[in-house]
Amino acid sequence: MNKRTKQKDVRSKMIFSKGMIIMIAAAVVIVSIIVYFGMRSLTPVNGNSPVFAAPTNTFIKATYSPQSGYTFTSQSTSSGRNSLPVGYNSPTITLKQGELASIHMINEDTTSKHNLNIDAFNVHTKDLGYFQSQSILFVANKAGSFPYYCTIHPEMKGVVIVQ
């Protein structure tokens, strides 16, 4: 091997390893982002560490009808103690103390934005437009009866019972 090809060989090796470093760095960044958002989505809004457990799901929708006005309406809930007929207005959400809960809210009202708040558990959705939805994970960490409500429509309210 003469001097010139040796130099070329070294240079191409360096370029290759630089590319590898960039690829590894990019992979690390991507994995970190995935882990960060994964951890964040597993962290209850009233907790500070991720919880690896299946939550009790409650599905609720915001609706409007000329008869009942703006209301929260039961969409469907997990089976058993928390099951309510679909379409039930201002459903009471029943949870067990200490359990992980996920509330899934969807706005099915074409006429207005809505949000859902449970102050006791730091649950606050964004103002959701038509057919926007948001899920919030929280821990039902205290027993009692707590209101949930929409800040835009004071008449939209219900109760969360933790027992």
- Rule CB under 5 A: which residues touch Cu ion? 114, 150, 152-153, 156
Nearer to Cu ion by C-beta: 104 or 153?
Answer: 153
Distances from the Cα of 110 to the Cα of 42, 128, 130, 158, angstroms: 31, 11, 5, 21
| Spatial CA neighbour of 94 closest among 13, 15, 154, 160 | 160
CA distance 130 to 39: 29
**Residue 103 beta carbon to Cu ion: minimum distance, rounded to whole angstroms:** 15
Nearer to Cu ion by C-beta: 19 or 87?
Answer: 87
Nearer to Cu ion by C-beta: 61 or 153?
Answer: 153
**Residue 154 beta carbon to Cu ion: minimum distance, rounded to whole angstroms:** 9
CA distance 129 to 106: 9
**Residue 75 beta carbon to Cu ion: minimum distance, rounded to whole angstroms:** 15
**Residue 163 beta carbon to Cu ion: minimum distance, rounded to whole angstroms:** 27
| Spatial CA neighbour of 123 closest among 97, 149, 145, 98 | 149
CA distance 47 to 141: 10
CB 139 within 8 A of CB 98: yes
**Residue 74 beta carbon to Cu ion: minimum distance, rounded to whole angstroms:** 16
